[in-house]
A and B are shown apart, each in its own frame.
Chain A
Amino acid sequence: MTQLHFKTGRLWRLAPLAAAAVLLGACASTPPPVAQIAVGKAAVERAAGSAAAEAPVELAAARDKMARANEAFAAKDYMLARQLAEQAEADAALAEAQSRSVRSSRALGEVREGVRMLRDEMARK
């Protein structure tokens, strides 16, 4: 492709960007995702309450996405804002679910240990 030559000039550098702006504008004709932002925010807050200890990584990802969603919303990039808010909600839900899974595994381990110790004590008698 090294032989290919387009019209050079400073104006041509901007051409792809202009084209991108047009194309983006054409695909981004969505209304402000106020509801989705609210849902995302609520989801992250709820997850923060219950999953903070057991799923810190997932919770941090959810928070990060929500922050970026708010930024995109403020920048009127509504498609991006909605997408990020949806992702944040999904991340928050996963954080909660994983936290619940970790706690139940731990509880199961404790009960099983208790049974084992009881059985050992009986065997010794």
Chain B
Amino acid sequence: MNRTLATGALMSSLLLGACATAPSPPPALVEARGVVLGAETDPAVNALAPLELKKATDTLARANLLMTKGEPQAEISSAAYVASQQARTAMAIAQAKGNDTAIAGSEADRERARADMRTLEATRARGQADVARAQTGVAREQAAQAEQRASGAEQRASGAEQRASGAEQQAALALAQAGSAQMQSAELQQRLTDLQAQKTERGMLVTLGDVLFESGRSDVKPAAQGALLKLAGFLQQYPNRRILIEGFTDDVGAAAYNQGLSRRRAEAVDAALLGMGVSAQRMATVGYGEEYPVASNTSDTNRAMNRRVEVIIADSDQPVRARR
């Protein structure tokens, strides 16, 4: 085959076709028809890009018209290409506007989400404020209770203090009393010691010896004054104590005479004490004569010991028990 011939034949037929009615639509027009149909049937395009869509459909109509009129193929193809691009433009515009609407909706969502967040934070903050207020209330109550307890404790403390001071006073008093009682007892002891008193079961015994009396006589010698004064002083100090004055002799002489002598000596001591201020009701006298010797009457010394007056001081405020 002659290549030149074939090329020439092909070109001729194409050129002839360009000026003559093409038997079938060029590919560009077929494609354009498809793209524009797609845009036409898209509801978004119809709603959001109607003007751009109209441009495309108009251009396609022009291309179709060019075809039916038998215009050059290049012209048809170019118009078809433009229609395709315009249809795609319409779709892109619809997409963009759809996005813009969605953006507005999302921005509203974002603002709503922000508002919800702020509400949540406000609610939480309010909740925390409520909790803090409740805690403050509890704390205030506790403080008030503590104050009450403190004041109650204070009252009790002051009451206890008063009682304590009262007890202290009592203790001091008791101590003082004890002290004074001790002092008294010590003093008593001292005095009794001074008196040379002996403790017996009937009371304290003070013995006034023979030297204080003239032999055979019952009047008290001045030497006895000292001892009797001490005794009188003691009895004044302890006014509730009674005494019993007992007289004794040795066995020289008649028993009856000695009985009388012993009684008279006891009464002499009574009289002397009376003269020293001791009241008579406190004193009792008795004579025992030769009875109850303290030593055997076998020597002068012993006999002298038996010649005595015994003064028994009661331990209490009761009378002294008699010997028998």
Question: A residues within 8 Å of B by Cβ?
Answer: 1-2, 4, 6, 8, 12-13, 15-17, 19-20, 23-24, 26-27, 79-80, 83-84, 86-87, 89-91, 93-94, 96-98, 100-101, 103-105, 107-108, 111-112, 114-115, 118-119, 121-122, 125
Residue of B nearest to A21 (CB): B15
The reply to whether the CB of B58 lies closer than 8 angstroms to some CB of chain A is no
Partner of A115, one of B4, B52, B106: B106
Residue B78 interfacial (CB < 8 Å): yes
Q: Are A83 and B78 in contact (CB under 8 A)?
A: yes
**B16 with A23: CB separation less than 8 A:** yes
Q: By the criterion CB–CB under 8 Å, are B88 and A118 in contact?
A: no
Interface string of B75-105 (1 = CB under 8 A from A): 1001101100110111011011101101100
Shortest B276–chain A CB gap in Å is 112
10 closest A-B pairs by beta carbon, nearest first, are: A104-B99, A16-B8, A97-B92, A90-B85, A83-B78, A118-B113, A111-B106, A100-B96, A101-B96, A97-B89
The answer to whether B88 touches A94 (Cβ under 8 A) is yes
Most buried by A among B19, B74, B100, B110: B110
Please, which residues of chain B bring their CB within 8 A of the CB of A19? 12, 15
Residue-wise, chain B 172-189 has the 8 Å CB interface mask toward A (1 for contact) of: 000000000000000000
Q: Is B304 an interface residue (CB 8 A)?
A: no
Q: Closest residue of chain B to A103, judged by CB?
A: B96
Chain B interface residue number, banded: 35 or more
- Interface residues, chain B, with chain A CB atoms under 8 Å away: 1-2, 4-9, 11-12, 15-16, 18-19, 52, 72, 74-75, 78-79, 81-82, 85-86, 88-90, 92-93, 95-97, 99-100, 102-103, 106-107, 109-110, 113-114, 116-117, 120, 124
Flag if A104 contacts B100 (CB, 8 Å): yes
A31→B234 CA distance, assembly (Å):
173
Contact of A107 among B18, B92, B99 (CB under 8 A): B99
Question: Which residues of chain B are near A100, meaning CB under 8 Å?
Answer: 92-93, 96
**In the bound complex, how far is the Cα of B72 from the Cα of A20, in angstroms?**
13
Is the CB–CB distance between A13 and B4 below 8 Å?
Answer: yes
Contact of B1 among A2, A17, A111, A114 (CB under 8 A): A2
Q: Besides A98-B92, A104-B99, A118-B110, 13 other CB < 8 A contacts?
A: A6-B2, A8-B2, A19-B12, A27-B72, A79-B72, A79-B75, A86-B79, A89-B82, A97-B88, A104-B103, A111-B107, A118-B113, A119-B113
Contact of B74 among A17, A83, A104, A122 (CB under 8 A): A83
A97-B92, A118-B114 known; A111 vs B85 contact (CB < 8 Å): no
Contact between A118 and B117 (Cβ–Cβ < 8 Å)? yes
CB distance from B315 to the nearest CB of A (A): 98
